[in-house]
Amino acid sequence: MGWRGIGHIATLLALLSCAGVAFAEDDCAASSDDCVAVGRWNLSVALGAGIRTNPVVHAQDIPLIFVPQFSYYGKRFFIDNLDPGVTLFEGETNTLSLVASPGYDRVFFYRSDLQNIFVGGTTAVAASGATTFVRNNQNPQAFQQIPERSRKITYLAGPEWTFRYARVTGQVDYLHEITGRNHGDEIRAALGIPLGQLAGSWSANVGVTWKSAGIVNYYYGAPGIYEAGWALNPFAKLGYSRPLSGKWKLDAFVHCERLGNAISDSPIVRGHYVTTAFVGATYVIHK
Amino acid sequence: MTRIQRTGQFVARLLALLGLWTAPLAYSAMGPSDENIRLEISPRICTLTGRDKQCETPVHAQWRSSHEESLCLVIVTRPNVKRCWEHYAKGTYTIQLTFAEDVTFQLRDVSLEHVLASEVLRVIREAILYRHRRRQPWNIFD
């Protein structure tokens, strides 16, 4: 990601945070799972055993052992792990924000990507760097090498609408890549559904990510060998949480994402699914 | 003026003089004078942030008077706290306190019936604004 792109993000967020925005009265009067104090940092660490399967050829599955999470909320500005944003409107049931978020697919290719530490989005695996060969279309007896290439850090930005209906939380983001690497677009949509209490809290999340051809090709294309189109990745997740003593709580989840055909058809991808599972204890360091 | 009238005037003047002479004695027999007693406490304010539930601090009380006094220092709502002095012109007292509301220190006479001086140790709570946390069902760890 170039410095110009970072500058654009920072300037946009700074201007918007200073702009007059509408804030309706909200129902937050104390710290809770849904409410946070303005001007405070929130930091927690999850320690446990987990794994994320890897659909990229020659790549290894990613273990999930230590997962930090942090956030900061100003009156309008916020940062949620690697996502900075500014809230334009906040009411009891609807919130509209402008957010920036890193392109998640890079974690397939670089273990050093920060999203392999601050695990938040979809797939998070790392390629081993081994060479991939595919059959030559003109001569099926022969193989041709897919050249190694770099995938730079990208950031996407755009509006995010979060809504609540009864106890269900919904989220829709429309994001455009603003770091000039692929000019692609993503739409992220999901619902969070509490399932009830049985020796702890159970919840289900369902959603989908639409990635434009520009994004899919940037990560999974092979120039001259494979030209991808757009992809639609649905996912489902089952989660469990139970408070323990003090600042500890027990967390567990299973998350399964189906890769869109444009991704799974790529010669550097094997399989159609990415599964993530984790069980561990979360400690709230600061809230 | 008749002799009786002159006698009456003399007696009235004599009584007035006696009253002026005995007034200070009578006054001092009533107990400590509260006009010259100064009570100071330190600290005078305790600030609670959003995370603090109560204040815990040693509180230092100091009093002084222009005369020797016999009095007691008490804390309102803490009946077990009482420190008395007899025939002192000043005194100090330090106590470790845990509190979440204002604490009132009083100097009272030894019978504890009259308040001679009073100071309040105030608790100020930090005003904290809250807002909704960003909910992100798309986030795997949300």
Q: The domain containing residue B14 runs over which residues?
A: 1-30
Q: The domain containing residue A82 runs over which residues?
A: 3-286
Q: What is the mean pLDDT of each run of 10 residues along chain A (287 residues)?
A: 54 52 60 84 91 84 86 94 94 93 80 66 44 58 71 93 93 96 96 93 96 95 91 96 91 95 93 93 83
B37/B101 same-domain check? yes
Residue B141 is assigned to a structural domain of this protein:
no
| A window 69-98, beta carbon within 8 A of B | 69, 71, 73, 75, 78, 80, 85, 87, 90, 95, 97
CB contact under 8 Å between B131 and A75, yes or no, is yes
The Cα A70–Cα B52 span in angstroms is: 22
B8/B41 same-domain check? no
Residue B40 is assigned to a structural domain of this protein:
yes
Task: Enumerate the residues of chain B whose CB falls inside 8 A of the CB of residue A121.
Answer: 138-140
Residue B132 is assigned to a structural domain of this protein:
no
Task: Name which of B51, B126, B138 to mutate to probe chain A: the one with the most chain A Cβ atoms within 10 A of its Cβ.
Answer: B138
Phi-psi region of A166 (alpha: psi -120 to 50; beta: other; left: phi over 0): left
B13/B43 same-domain check? no
Q: What is the pLDDT of residues A70-88, one digit of tens each?
A: 999 999 999 999 999 999 9
B54/B97 same-domain check? yes
* HEC letters along chain A: CCHHHHHHHHHHHHHHHHCCCEECCCCCCCCCCCEEECCEEEEEEEEEEEEECCCECCCECEEEEEEEEEEEECCCEEEECCEEEEEEEECCCEEEEEEEEECHHHHHCCCCCHHHCCCCCCCCCECCCCCEEEECCCCCCCEEEECCCCCCCCEEEEEEEEEEECCEEEEEEEEEECCCCCCCEEEEEEEEEEEEECCCEEEEEEEEEEECHHHHHHHHCECCCECCCCEEEEEEEEEEEEECCCCEEEEEEEEEEECCHHHHCCCCECCCEEEEEEEEEEEEEEC
B74/B92 same-domain check? yes
Chain A and chain B share a number of CB contacts under 8 A equal to 91
| Encoded tokens for A162 | 């979060």
The number of domains in chain A is: 1
B15/B79 same-domain check? no
Residue B22 is assigned to a structural domain of this protein:
yes
Residue A119 in contact with partner chain B when CB distance is under 8 A: yes
Q: What's the pLDDT at A125?
A: 40
Q: Residue B89 maps to which CATH number?
A: 2.60.40
Q: What is the pLDDT of residues B4-23, one digit of tens each?
A: 677 777 766 776 665 555 54
B6/B38 same-domain check? no
How many residues appear in chain A?
287
Task: Enumerate the residues of chain B whose CB falls inside 8 A of the CB of residue A96.
Answer: none
The Cα A241–Cα A195 span in angstroms is: 12
The Cα A103–Cα A152 span in angstroms is: 10
Q: Residue A14 maps to which CATH number?
A: 2.40.230
Q: Which residues of chain B have pLDDT under 70?
A: 1, 4, 11-12, 15-34, 142
Nearest to B140 among A78, A95, A255 (CB): A255
Q: Is B122 helix (H, G, I), strand (E, B) or coil?
A: strand
Nearest to B140 among A33, A87, A121 (CB): A121
Residue A241 in contact with partner chain B when CB distance is under 8 A: no
Residue B38 is assigned to a structural domain of this protein:
yes
Are the CB atoms for A124 and A52 separated by under 8 Å? yes
B110/B68 same-domain check? yes
Q: Nearest-CA distance from B50 to chain A in Å?
A: 9
B56/B82 same-domain check? yes
CB contact under 8 Å between B131 and A36, yes or no, is yes
Q: What is the pLDDT of residues A2-40, one digit of tens each?
A: 555 555 555 555 555 554 444 544 578 777 778 888 988
**For the whole model, what pTM was predicted?**
0.67
The number of domains in chain B is: 2
CB contact under 8 Å between A171 and B140, yes or no, is no
Amino acid letter for position B136: Q
Q: Nearest-CA distance from A110 to chain B in Å?
A: 20
B85/B21 same-domain check? no
Residue B44 is assigned to a structural domain of this protein:
yes
| B window 34-63, beta carbon within 8 A of A | 50
Question: Quick count: other Cβ atoms within 10 Å of Cβ B2?
Answer: 7
- ipTM attached to this prediction: 0.76
CB contact under 8 Å between A39 and B133, yes or no, is no
